[in-house]
Structure 1
Amino acid sequence: MSISNCSEEEDVYPLHECIFIGDVRKLSSLLRNHDVARKDKHGNTALHLAVMLGRKECVQLLLAHGAPVKVKNLAGWSPLAEAISYGDRQTISSLVRKLKQQAREQMERRRPDLIRALAQIQDFYMELKWDFHSWVPLVSRILPSDVCKIYKAGSGIRLDTTLVDFTDMKWERGDISFIFQGEKPPSESLTVLDNKAKVYQRVRYEETENEIEDEVDILMSSDILAAQMSTKGIAFTRAQSGWIFREDRKETVAGLYRSDIYTITGLVLESRKRREHLSTDDLQKNKAIIESLTKGNTQSLDTNGEPTRRASLNPPPESNIDWASYISSPPGLYPSLGRELVYKESSRNFRATIAMSDDFPLSVDMLLNVLEVIAPFKHFAKLRQFVAMKLPRGFPVKIDIPILPTVTAKITFQKFDFRDDIAPNLFLIPDDFVEDPLRFPDL
């Protein structure tokens, strides 16, 4: 990917202007010496505009030159979100494939450093306790808890948990082990064991064509969602104790780790939803389709035995907006280029606490490396996102973090031992386990 000329003015975006005009030949020429990832004043890349304006040839050309798919404009929407709104199935499929390819490439670049970092950490055993609670009383009574056991040896990680999955107020209990073997090739390095059913599943490195097309069906049949934890206004304040003589609050966590307690303010969970690509009839029919697909079932078959796929939508009305009108609009406030948005947003402020200790033997950087390995579990991905923030001094031995708009998780590091006697067979698939590639559809 080449970088644009230094002499190029900040408010000149030749790739973007080419997309508006629809000049594929000129775009091809410009891509030789311009940055395909550059954003304009609205935060849109050239790929954003190509998708919103339905320039299919431009989309394919930009993807062939490595245009990033996981990038958001000022409104927080990616090219994939805009493609779902436009409704062209081929474009959505191309973006999903490219997104997954770019994620694999990023992980492959990161992998050697990650394995090196893990190998440099002394082998250990650690326990994390998860307690889920809610400000909605009846919900709080039925939420799960779990003690996760983590073993680290060399570049291998094993996580034992009873909480298989936790999504949208639904969870699955079981006896699950997640194994990462850093010395193995990427396609074999991640394995999940169901210890009760005695089956295992390799975490898929590359999806099949059917799996890609199933995902496209789900995307075309669902709300376009964007949820993120905003930390722009975050602040850490020492918690106080005492009625008359106030002093900084301290606590010994798990009976071992002397900790300073901080109150966290300014955490905002922002949730946005779009559904301009869905009709009322769609919303009723698609609920059943999505439930079927997310359980790992293929959709109904046509007369040729092929899955029935969702067809492209009729394109939105042609935009009459010209380049000058678009680029002269205030940042983020340009006229609509596609369908009129059907949009809803909500936000919720969180106040939480965190216990930071200098006594814990692991560093935050070491923890981030471990959490990166087990990120396929959604709640651990949330924990990693939180720990990656600029925290006060020490190690976060106890944390309250929001997982869903109504649900908070309390994570306590209740045990940690450096060990040199962790059994190698913990990182192997038992001989009597059978492979089941569909045991965990979401992995």
Structure 2
Amino acid sequence: MIAAGRGPESRYPLHYLVWQNKPRELEKELGAEQVEIEQLDPRGRTPLHLATTLGHLECARVLLKYGADVNKENRSGWTVLQEAVSTRDLQLVQLVLRHRDYQRTVRRLAGIPILLEKLHKAQDFYVEMKWEFTSWVPLISKICPSDMYKVWKCGQKLRVDTTLLGFEHMSWQRGNRSFVFRGQADTSAVVMEIDHDRRVVYTETLTLASHDREVLLAAVQPTEEQAMSRLTAPVVTTQLDTKNIAFERNKSGILGWRSERTEMINGYEAKVYGASNVELITRTRTEHLLDQHKSKSKGSKTPLQSFLGIAEQHVGPNNGTLITQTFSHTNPTAITPEEYFNPNFELGNRDIGRPMELTTKTQKFKAKLWLCEAHPLSLSEQVAPIIDLMAISNALFAKLRDFITLRLPPGFPVKIEIPIFHILNARITFGNLNGCEEPVSSVKQSPNSEAPSPSSDSSSVSSSSSMTSCRGCEMDQALFEVPRGYTVVSSHRDSIREEEEDLLQFAIQQSLLEAGSEYDQVGCGALWWETPDTPACGSSAPPALQPSSTSLC
């Protein structure tokens, strides 16, 4: 038991007031003296996490008013928003969702000067990034999407062209879009989303000085429909666990004559590495779902679904796949504050909040890298800031960023293959640096380099404008301007990125399932395959790189 005079009210004053559900006393404590609002209790929860898990709405409101961090995870790896969803409290979900988006907006805007400085220091370049999805499951790879991202970087200006926009209405969305990020002299930035199909430009100026707290909070007010979509969909998280990752050079040749393997990738000789002990962990919570929503998430199975079910059986526990389920069928025994706040007291299988229904799927993968030590691009100085910016609103680039931030062997990753989903890998290949392989009309070599022949590439901007030297290559500055004849619209739409990993999984899954009718001839039996969690009807996946109010971190 806790020693006299050292009770939870003295060691964890904010947590204790939250436990007692005393919002007025909590606000008085926060306003009267400096307290540690992010202090962790013995169970790994901040005061905001505790208030959310207990469903104490007014205490959560007070803590958010004083700036409690919504984006922190508790000891079990769940965010405040995910815990709010588990309570099935619509008002609490709306409150947390609003402040999460507000805090992401503030952090994003505060990070603009740092990003501009990184872009300014990095050498300018043009590069193409080819994304391909592959799978060990037969017949799957050919129906997975692919895309070519074209990237121009000049000074504090960046442009990205793409055709894979996202997932909506049960199909992959294609279009011709450009996303432009242009730094200003006053450490602000202009972001433009150019819709070439509709000839419309959505523009937004990013500057922290022009926004106060109330203005930003008003701009990110979630609707009841958005909050309800959370309560009618399972909570799912997917993460790459790389703490035990190991890199090893691939070998080639026959036994006794084996040598370290190298391959030519777009004209560059690259060493081939394998990355082992990469675990993909998917966790799904469903305790907040009503019975009709649980049954809907299981739904009917297409022939392809059944086929994938058998395919999953083939990787079984012996091949690194492990599925565990945790169910609490009854309410936990009442926990006293003395028990909860005593770090030496074992709660066993008891806990606060709604009884958890959790399914965890763990599968080991082997990633692959092709590294070139003589490549002109620098990963840390040139490419990493671009990937950071893209990762704001793109789930694919977020996963790529997580991987390249590891301590990789020396060299530039001209090609990377990493797991995205338990049956899918993403293969990213860098090529056509500065238009050296295939000429690009908007880019030409500097006078001290061999200039490529002119090109009539329709996807590039016309070279009618004057070229500006970009230290190694010259770029048409019209790339970063509003195209002539396009309509400019201020961006007032909610561009907050949702839980992009959930939506990416849903998009991939539906992309596979919608092709199920093509494979009716595959006799696969009727084994049930647990599908990934799906957002409620009306939810849509994030666009490839739309301006977003998420953190740069």
Structure 2 length normalisation: TM-score?
Answer: 0.67
Give the Cα–Cα distance (whole angstroms) in 2 for the partners of residues 385 and 35 of structure 1. Answer: 30
Cα–Cα, structure 1 residues 99 and 16, in superposed 2: closer, same or farther, change >3 Å?
A: same
| Native 8 Å contact 1:180 1:373 kept in 2 | no
Matched length: 408
User: How far apart are residue 236 of structure 1 and its match?
Assistant: 0.9
User: How far apart are residue 22 of structure 1 and its match?
Assistant: 2.6
2:250 is matched with 239
Give the Cα–Cα distance (whole angstroms) in 1 for the partners of residues 187 and 171 of structure 2. Answer: 30
1:195 is matched with 196
Give the Cα–Cα distance (whole angstroms) in 2 for the partners of residues 238 and 45 of structure 1. Answer: 43
| Native 8 Å contact 1:188 1:202 kept in 2 | no
Which deviates more from structure 2 when the two are superposed, residues 322-331 or residues 402-411? 322-331
User: How far apart are residue 319 of structure 1 and its match?
Assistant: 7.5
2:356 is matched with 341
Alignment partner for residue 223 of structure 1, among 234, 240, 244? 234
| Native 8 Å contact 2:113 2:187 kept in 1 | no
Residue 67 (structure 1) aligned with residue 79 (structure 2): no
Alignment partner for residue 405 of structure 1, among 390, 415, 422? 422
Letter in 1 for 2:40: K
User: How far apart are residue 332 of structure 1 and its match?
Assistant: 8.9
User: How far apart are residue 182 of structure 1 and its match?
Assistant: 2.1
Which deviates more from structure 2 when the two are superposed, residues 214-223 or residues 411-420? 411-420
Structure having the higher Rg: 2
1:394 is matched with 411
Cα–Cα, structure 1 residues 331 and 40, in superposed 2: closer, same or farther, change >3 Å?
A: farther
Letter in 2 for 1:220: L
- RMSD of equivalent CA atoms: 3.3
Give the Cα–Cα distance (whole angstroms) in 2 for the partners of residues 391 and 278 of structure 1. Answer: 41
Cα–Cα, structure 1 residues 167 and 137, in superposed 2: closer, same or farther, change >3 Å?
A: farther
Letter in 2 for 1:364: L
| Native 8 Å contact 2:98 2:221 kept in 1 | no
Give the Cα–Cα distance (whole angstroms) in 2 for the partners of residues 402 and 155 of structure 1. Answer: 32
Give the Cα–Cα distance (whole angstroms) in 2 for the partners of residues 217 and 86 of structure 1. Answer: 13
Cα–Cα, structure 1 residues 348 and 204, in superposed 2: closer, same or farther, change >3 Å?
A: farther
1:421 is matched with 474
Cα–Cα, structure 1 residues 107 and 439, in superposed 2: closer, same or farther, change >3 Å?
A: closer
Structure 1 gaps, min length 5: 1-6, 289-315
Letter in 1 for 2:19: F
1:269 is matched with 280
User: How far apart are residue 72 of structure 1 and its match?
Assistant: 1.2
| Native 8 Å contact 1:270 1:348 kept in 2 | yes
Give the Cα–Cα distance (whole angstroms) in 2 for the partners of residues 203 and 332 of structure 1. Answer: 50
User: How far apart are residue 286 of structure 1 and its match?
Assistant: 9.3
1:326 is matched with 340
Instruction: Render the CA deviation track for 1:57-92: whole Å, top value 9, x for unaligned.
Output: 211111112111111122211121111111222221
Give the Cα–Cα distance (whole angstroms) in 2 for the partners of residues 12 and 379 of structure 1. Answer: 43
Cα–Cα, structure 1 residues 133 and 270, in superposed 2: closer, same or farther, change >3 Å?
A: same
| Native 8 Å contact 1:157 1:179 kept in 2 | yes
Cα–Cα, structure 1 residues 385 and 196, in superposed 2: closer, same or farther, change >3 Å?
A: same
User: How far apart are residue 219 of structure 1 and its match?
Assistant: 1.1
| Native 8 Å contact 1:200 1:434 kept in 2 | yes
Residue 433 of structure 2 aligns to a residue whose secondary structure is strand
Instruction: Render the CA deviation track for 1:393-418: whole Å, top value 9, x for unaligned.
Output: 12111100122222111111112236
1:249 is matched with 261
| Native 8 Å contact 2:94 2:222 kept in 1 | no
Structure 1 residues 273-352: aligned runs within 5 Å? 273-283=284-294, 320-328=334-342, 335-352=350-367
| Native 8 Å contact 2:182 2:480 kept in 1 | yes
Which deviates more from structure 2 when the two are superposed, residues 365-374 or residues 191-200? 191-200
Instruction: Render the CA deviation track for 1:308-362: whole Å, top value 9, x for unaligned.
Output: xxxxxxxx97973111222346789662312211221111211121012221222
Which deviates more from structure 2 when the two are superposed, residues 405-414 or residues 191-200? 191-200
Instruction: Render the CA deviation track for 1:134-191: whole Å, top value 9, x for unaligned.
Output: 1111211211222221001111111112222269995222222111112289997222
User: How far apart are residue 285 of structure 1 and its match?
Assistant: 7.7
Letter in 2 for 1:231: T
Give the Cα–Cα distance (whole angstroms) in 2 for the partners of residues 50 and 147 of structure 1. Answer: 45
User: How far apart are residue 212 of structure 1 and its match?
Assistant: 4.3
1:179 is matched with 180
Letter in 2 for 1:344: T
User: How far apart are residue 42 of structure 1 and its match?
Assistant: 2.5
User: How far apart are residue 126 of structure 1 and its match?
Assistant: 0.7
| Native 8 Å contact 1:42 1:333 kept in 2 | no
Give the Cα–Cα distance (whole angstroms) in 1 for the partners of residues 141 and 297 of structure 2. Answer: 30
Instruction: Render the CA deviation track for 1:168-225: whole Å, top value 9, x for unaligned.
Output: 9952222221111122899972222222232333479768566544421221221111
Give the Cα–Cα distance (whole angstroms) in 1 for the partners of residues 373 and 115 of structure 2. Answer: 24
Residue 355 (structure 1) aligned with residue 370 (structure 2): yes
Give the Cα–Cα distance (whole angstroms) in 2 for the partners of residues 374 and 285 of structure 1. Answer: 34
Structure 1 residues 104-253: aligned runs within 5 Å? 104-165=105-166, 170-183=171-184, 189-202=190-203, 208=219, 211-243=222-254, 244-253=256-265
Give the Cα–Cα distance (whole angstroms) in 1 for the partners of residues 163 and 151 of structure 2. Answer: 13
Residue 341 of structure 2 aligns to a residue whose secondary structure is helix
Letter in 2 for 1:384: R
User: How far apart are residue 275 of structure 1 and its match?
Assistant: 1.4
1:87 is matched with 88
| Native 8 Å contact 2:98 2:222 kept in 1 | no
Cα–Cα, structure 1 residues 193 and 131, in superposed 2: closer, same or farther, change >3 Å?
A: same
| Native 8 Å contact 2:369 2:417 kept in 1 | yes
Letter in 2 for 1:349: K
Letter in 1 for 2:387: L
Instruction: Render the CA deviation track for 1:276-323: whole Å, top value 9, x for unaligned.
Output: 1111224578999xxxxxxxxxxxxxxxxxxxxxxxxxxx97973111
| Native 8 Å contact 1:126 1:415 kept in 2 | yes
Residue 218 of structure 1 aligns to a residue whose secondary structure is helix
